[in-house]
Chains A and B, each alone.
Chain A
Amino acid sequence: MTGADKRLRVLALHGGLVLVLFALQFLLPDYDHTNFTSIMVLATYAMGYNILVGYTGLLSLGHAMFFAAGLYGAGMGVYYFALHPVLAFVIGSSAGLILAALIGLIALRTTGVAFMIVTMMFAQAAFLVTLYFNDVTHGDEGLTLTQAARGFDLLGWHVDLTNPALRYNLALSLFTGALVLCLALVRSPIGRVLIAIRENEERTRMLGYDARHYKLLALSLSGLLSGAAGAAYVLFFGYVGSSFAAIQYSIYPLLWVLLGGVGTVVGPIIGTLLMFYLIEISRDHMSSYMIVVGIMLVLLVLWFPKGIAGTIRARWWGWIP
């Protein structure tokens, strides 16, 4: 297959995905319409997670802190300071980026299992912080943003973030932006080095690369996307509480990415979509619905470690980035 041919297929696959998601808004019933809005936001979070685990080979068990940084950064900005939603979004995304860079300076001195535990501990501390400052965060009860606070005027046109159609398309834009960023990253010289670090870090260093800088960059970008997803989530749905910072929200992106395919650009949305509905359906039938999370984790690790897109790449479409 020639390079141009490959580029065309990559464009067709990912462009097609965005078009399908665009078209779906006219077909989906209300209930699923809202679900898809969350799924696209959560998939952005999953793509951020995937930059670190899939393309750099660092498994984090603490990404909830970056997601929560976005949620609280944007949410508290609007709640307490009545910030412009766009500014709140920028602040939330930056909070994810900055927190990730700071954590990275410390945590990236470790690798493998130690990195997993260190990120988990930092995230647990962050979760406890949201509980400790109960006066400000309202802990589990959380903060609810009013409809008025989530609207603004743009060029004489009133933007209301509680409007489902608008929200859907903004979520789609966020998702598309993340998709383009990931595609560009993976195909860039930086992406090549990140993959090399995943495959063999020592060899990469002996090719003249200071792996620490690249890992910090990957973690920061990962934090940026996670923060952006968190900020969008609170602006679209108007609520932030401590449960978003709990360990469960660090496990979810791991599960989404494992199911969809670690180290693939389309994997995160596939995994998020399937898990979202799997959990929704089991929630309707039993109170112990989180058992599907446990069962899926074990099954995936045992029998399906490449995930859906990863398996498709290994068996049929070697060109999937």
Chain B
Amino acid sequence: MDLGPHLLLALLEGCVAAFVLAVTALGLSLVFGVMRIVNVAHGEFFMLGAVIAWWITSLVPDAPFWGFMLALVGAPLAVGAIAVAADALVLRRLNYQPEATIVATIGLLYILQQLVLSIYGPDARPVVAPIQFRIVFPWFGYSGYKLVAVGAASLLLLAAWYGVTRTKFGLIMRATQFDRETAQAFGVPVKRVYAAVFALGAMLAAVAGVLVVPLQQAHYLMGLDPLLLSFIVVIIGGLDSLKGTLIAAFVIGISDGIISVFFSPTLAKIIATLAVALVLVFMPNGLFGGKAR
């Protein structure tokens, strides 16, 4: 294959990675933005989405399309319920104190991951894609499902964008983000908003997990990579900025795809993590974020 088609393939792969990453990182960014907490267990919600999707689709082996649709609804709902429970049982009791919350979510990471290990086991299990057509380029064929996943992810991003900027819940969320005490004084049920935001963040990660599982197989350790990548995206994009998060997700998703085709993925990850640490130290508002309030 020539360089041109090679690059096209890398670009397509990067695009798929970028959209899935954007959805995952958006969840992390929402939770940090509104609740001011860093959720280290975010990647486990992604993993749970994938694993639950495997379980749901395995219940209807004869109708992969409907099984997958069921998973697309059921897995995020189940993960949302787990997130609400985690919020009520752990995070709220810590009063969302930032450092204690990080430690608690590290604990949550191990609990979720190891529970999945003991129930689901150590194997990676495949999920059949709901549709089976291939797009034929002159140089190579490409999975149609990947393009559908990109489409679904962009719909989700649009919906999230609309939800945050145009709806009443979005307004309440932003008010809580801006000033928790004042919002409370104006009758905003802050506790419920926090629970909803934490669940929403988890559900976004779970949906991303469902979308990815036909491409990747479900495995109990699959949460670590999306977690680190989401961290990188949210930090580079600016901790407070949804727009920055999206831009960063595309830049990193696509460049990760391209770099990994031409260079060692480990080297790419080393450079990315070091870059993130330096951005956080020297440009705490991110490369694309606005000025701090």
Contact = CB atoms under 8 A, between A and B. Distances in A.
Q: Is there a direct interface between A and B, measured as CB atoms under 8 Å apart in the complex?
A: yes
Chain A contact residues: helix, strand, loop or mixed: helix
A183 interface: no
B266 A302 contact: no
A112 B99 contact: yes
Interface in B217-266: 228, 231, 235, 264, 266
Given A118-B277, A125-B274, A125-B277, A254 B269 contact: no
A295 B122 CA distance: 20
B110 to A, nearest CB: 3
Interface in B92-138: 93-94, 98-100, 102-104, 106-115, 117-118, 122
Contact of B104 (A107, A122, A289, A297): A297
Nearest to B112: A294
A124 interface: yes
Nearest to B235: A117
B109 A294 contact: yes
A291 interface: yes
A122 B75 CA distance: 34
B273 A295 contact: no
A218 to B, nearest CB: 17
Interface stretch (A37-45, A126-134, A224-232): A126-134
Chain B contact residues: helix, strand, loop or mixed: helix
A290 B108 contact: no
- For chain B, the bracket of interface size reads 35 or more
A82 B93 CA distance: 54
Contacts of A121: 231, 273-274, 276-277, 280
Contacts of A61: 102, 106
A298 B108 contact: yes
Of B98, B100, B110, most A-chain CB atoms within 10 Å: B110
Interface residues of A, number: 38
A107 B104 CA distance: 23
A251 B270 CA distance: 20
Nearest to B234: A117
Contacts of B278: 106
Nearest to B264: A132
B1 interface: no
A287 B103 contact: no
B226 to A, nearest CB: 14
B111 A294 contact: yes
Interface string B48-74: 000000000000000000000000000
A298 to B, nearest CB: 4
A113 interface: yes
Given A112-B99, A117-B231, A251-B106, A295 B277 contact: no
A296 interface: yes
Nearest to B271: A125
Interface in B157-211: none
Contacts of A188: none
Contact of B98 (A112, A254, A286, A297): A112
Contacts of A302: 90, 93-94, 104
Contact of A132 (B94, B100, B235, B267): B267
Given A59-B99, A132-B267, A291-B118, A125 B273 contact: yes
B38 interface: yes
Given A106-B277, A125-B277, A258 B108 contact: no
Contacts of A131: 266
A118 B280 contact: yes
Contacts of B267: 132
Contacts of B264: 132
Contact of A295 (B98, B107, B228, B282): B107
Contacts of B109: 294
Given A288-B114, A294-B110, A301 B280 contact: no
Contacts of A294: 106-114
A321 interface: no
A110 interface: yes
Nearest to B266: A132
A291 B266 CA distance: 28
A83 interface: no
Interface in A287-314: 287-291, 293-298, 301-302, 305
A121 B122 CA distance: 27
A270 to B, nearest CB: 19
A215 to B, nearest CB: 14
B117 A129 contact: no
Contacts of B122: 287
Contact of A296 (B107, B108, B114, B273): B107
Interface in B13-38: 38
A57 B52 CA distance: 40
A217 to B, nearest CB: 19
Nearest to A295: B111
Counting from the closest, the 9 A-B pairs by CB-CB distance are A294-B110, A297-B107, A291-B114, A294-B111, A298-B107, A288-B114, A121-B277, A288-B118, A288-B117
Given A117-B231, A302-B104, 6 more contacts: A113-B102, A114-B281, A117-B235, A122-B273, A301-B100, A301-B107
